[in-house]
């Protein structure tokens, strides 16, 4: 259980860093479109 929580925290921190980089590179529109497309492509 503890390892699962640690893995979730690690994945969320990586996603946060990638979202920040996408925002700096492409702006809000590109980052939000990419976030939504990624969300719907995995469900």
Q: What is the pTM of this model?
A: 0.59
- How would residue 7 be classed by pLDDT, with cut points 50, 70 and 90? very high
Residue 43 has pLDDT above 90, yes or no: no
Burial 14-38 (b: 16+ CB within 10 A, else e): eeeeeeeebbeeeeeeebeeeeeee
């Amino acid at each position: 259980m503890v390892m699962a929580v640690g893995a979730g925290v690690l994945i969320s921190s990586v996603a946060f860093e990638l979202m920040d980089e996408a925002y700096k590179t492409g702006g809000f529109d590109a980052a939000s479109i990419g976030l939504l497309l990624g969300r719907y492509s995995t469900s």
